[in-house]
Amino acid sequence: NAGVTQTPKFQVLKTGQSMTLQCAQDMNHEYMSWYRQDPGMGLRLIHYSVGAGITDQGEVPNGYNVSRSTTEDFPLRLLSAAPSQTSVYFCASSPDLWNTEAFFGQGTRLTVV
């Protein structure tokens, strides 16, 4: 049982490049979410999904797109990377919306130069 798997673990982008951060879970969880964590800060919610085909914005959605075509996968797309998007990104999943344990991936450390 792999849990929540994020790829890649590290990435360096140039300003203006696009990329997709991958997140996959094998627990058949309905709820998935993306957070970013800046140095010395807590986690901030970017986007979340309550099930396949349903997504919604979190606290800091600008500059990011998501889609949820399957229960297992919830990719996060950066359309045109900016230095302000340098951060550590965490994906999480849970069986429902926070009334149970949420499982987090190990993070993707992104640097935009």
Chain residues binding other proteins by CB under 8 A are: 4, 35, 40-45, 50, 56, 58-59, 88, 90, 92, 96-99, 101-107, 109
- To other proteins, the closest distance from the beta carbon of 53 in angstroms equals 16
- To other proteins, the closest distance from the beta carbon of 76 in angstroms equals 15
Give a three-class secondary structure readout of the chain: CCCEEEECCEEEECCCCCEEEEEEECCCCCEEEEEEECCCCCEEEEEEEEECCEEEECCCCCCEEECCCCCCECCEEECCCCHHHCEEEEEEEECCCCCCCCEECCCEEEEEC
- To other proteins, the closest distance from the beta carbon of 90 in angstroms equals 5
For other proteins, the closer of residues 17 and 65 by Cβ is: 65
For other proteins, the closer of residues 58 and 75 by Cβ is: 58
For other proteins, the closer of residues 71 and 107 by Cβ is: 107
